[in-house]
Amino acid sequence: MSERPFVLGVLVSGSGTNLQAILDAIEAGTLQAKVGVVVSNVATAKALDRAKAARIPAIVVDHKAFSSREAFDAAVVEVLQAHRVDCVVLAGFMRIVTSTILDAFPNRVVNVHPALLPAFPGVRAQRQALDYGVSISGCTVHFVDAGTDTGPIIAQSPVPVLDSDDEASLTARILKKEHELLPIVLQWLVEGRVVVEQPEGGRPRTRIRLGP
């Protein structure tokens, strides 16, 4: 009897390039997982077409049909649990998740953010980096908590900010790093190498095991 695969549930709102990076890593054998379902709050999201092309269930849960964030998240949780998801990946998902999802998947909801957190949380992080005049930005993969981009950081990758950069060019270069980093971190999760620690009197943080 074969071992059950590690199942990812990917939440998306847009074009799905990070979803594609996950699918490409699975195809290449560098990410030993499967995408069990792709869920979008936007019916026209290109990410849904990517999922369908890969023969992955692509499900729309329209947030506008619900009276509250919690009710919407409860519907999303129902879909994720129906597909026996082990880890939830926010890959360009433009909704703030509530405790409804976080409690259903404790320390199993991962986000990729286009900045070196804790700098520049929230929307348009690349614009924030340019406005602040930093010379280095990048991307962060982190666990999601109840705050906005405040969960324990798992890994980061730096990207230089060039004098010639505008928001579009910086966004494009950071996105390439996201495509590299996210599948690596997900493989660490598959291997059970990411440990969340709670220091006494401090914030939760992660530690990466170097070996099995």
- Asked if 124 contacts 171 with a C-beta cutoff of 8 angstroms, the reply is no
> Could you tell me the pLDDT band of residue 211, with boundaries at 50, 70 and 90?
low
Give the whole-number percent of the chain exceeding pLDDT 90: 93
Q: What does the pLDDT read at residue 4?
A: 86
Neighbours of 129 (CB within 10 A): 26
Q: What is the pLDDT of residues 143-191, one digit of tens each?
A: 999 999 999 999 999 999 999 999 999 999 999 999 999 999 999 999 9
Give mean pLDDT, residues 17-28: 98
Active site residues per annotation: 113
Checking phi first, is residue 29 left (phi over 0); if not, alpha (psi -120 to 50) or beta?
left
Residue among 162, 88, 163, 153 nearest 119 (CA): 153
Q: What is the pLDDT of residues 46-96, one digit of tens each?
A: 999 999 999 999 999 999 999 999 999 999 999 999 999 999 999 999 999
Cα-based distances in Å from 152 to 13, 28, 80: 23, 28, 23
Cα 77 to chain centroid, rounded: 16
Torsion of CA 172, 156, 124, 70, to 10 degrees: 120
- Judged against a pLDDT cut of 70, whether residue 212 lies above it is answered with no
CA distance 183 to 33: 10
CATH of domain 7-123+140-158+181-208: 3.40.50.170
Q: What is the pLDDT of residues 159-170, one digit of tens each?
A: 999 999 999 999
Q: Would you kindly state where each structural domain of the chain is located, as residue ranges?
A: 7-123+140-158+181-208
CA distance 79 to 75: 7
Give mean pLDDT, residues 86-107: 97
